[in-house]
Amino acid sequence: MPFAAWGLPRRLLDGALRGAAVAAGAELRAGVAVQGAEPGPDGWILRLPGGAIAARQVVLATGKQAFRGHPRAGAPPGALGLKLHLAGVDPGGTVTLLPFAGGYAGLQPLPNGAHDGGANLCAALHGEAGAAARDAAAFLARVAEGSALGARLLAGARPAWDRPLAVAGVPYGFRARAGGPPGLFRIGDQAAVIPSFTGEGIALALHSGLAAAAAILAGEEAAAFQARWRRRSAWPMRWAELGAWVLRQAPGAFTGVAAVAPAARWLARGTRVSRC
Ligand SMILES: Cc1cc2nc3c(=O)[nH]c(=O)nc-3n(C[C@H](O)[C@H](O)[C@H](O)COP(=O)(O)OP(=O)(O)OC[C@H]3O[C@@H](n4cnc5c(N)ncnc54)[C@H](O)[C@@H]3O)c2cc1C
């Protein structure tokens, strides 16, 4: 990356965000799944296990999971996301991108204390996942076979679990259309799903959340917000799709070739939503 970036465990990031929301006056109902959202007399009615609540606006932030009744229109076929904690690996102080057949993985250090220091291996897989989705050793082998760097870094890896955690149906490249029902603001992965290798998904989620909050406070219609966010996310998404295409066609392109390093840096900058 042509800049320093943070790799944070979700436990820390989500905890900090929840704390900030509660400190700002939000009422938090943890462990409650919203079962549906339908237009009501004064905005929306949300169905919860214990009853219903009325809301003037709804911010749809259910991420990778589709929300019943509100499908992502035009979403491309979903990829598989995998995650595995490892001991016996020294990823250094960096996030390493490891291409392999059918996908790519990111290897990054875990905070001190977790699995002997250890590392987190996350991957996006397109097409047939085979045993990699069910078996930690098969997943490790598949990533290690993809590059000499992967083989070296993962040589002594000991998986913390028998099988990787998996999330299916991640529609990389999806962008919500402009429009949509009044008072429903799509943010994060419900608005745009950027290829994971960019490490920009969380930034898109945070920026779109802030933009939706500003739009609601300004009394703006959801359709106007959605159209603006679609425009703002267009270039980062295009650059990310281009990068994903290069990764698929020539997996070694981003690693260690001095001639393409400036192009890769340029492309990485283009994927940053904070620049748009
Ligand atoms: C393999 C992989 C690796 C990735 N690596 C990176 C990375 O290194 N850096 C990066 O920035 N991004 C990365 N991303 C992308 C990033 O995870 C997402 O872009 C980001 O989490 C989107 O945030 P979100 O808030 O929209 O959704 P999420 O983070 O998915 O959060 C959605 C939340 O909504 C909750 N929810 C869902 N349905 C309901 C319901 N009905 N009722 C109540 N709650 C509900 C879920 O439980 C969840 O807590 C990666 C993604 C994948 C798949």
Of 154, 170, 186, the position where a domain reaches its end is 170
The helix/strand count (H/E) of the chain reads as 6, 11
Q: Which of 90, 160, 102 is nearest to 128 (CA)?
A: 102
Quick: pLDDT tens for 137-182: 999 999 999 999 999 999 999 999 999 999 999 999 999 998 889 9
- In terms of domains, do 37 and 88 share one? no
- In terms of domains, do 187 and 160 share one? no
pLDDT at 259: 57
Quick one: average pLDDT of 84-106?
Answer: 91
Per DSSP, 76 falls in state P
CA of 210 to the centre of ligand 1 (A): 16
User: What is the C-alpha separation between 170 and 195, in angstroms, rounded?
Assistant: 9
**Which residue has the least CA distance to atom 24 on ligand 1?**
63
Of all residues in the chain, the percent with pLDDT exceeding 90 is 70
Of 137, 170, 203, the position where a domain reaches its end is 170
pLDDT at 4: 79
From the CA of 187, give the closest atom in ligand 1: 26
Q: Is 189 in the pocket of ligand 1 (CB under 6 A)?
A: yes
pLDDT at 256: 54
Q: Check whether 92 has a pLDDT greater than 90.
A: no
- In terms of domains, do 117 and 163 share one? yes
| Parent domain of 212 | 10-75+175-275
Structural domains counted in the chain: 2
Tokens linked to 237: 């998404």
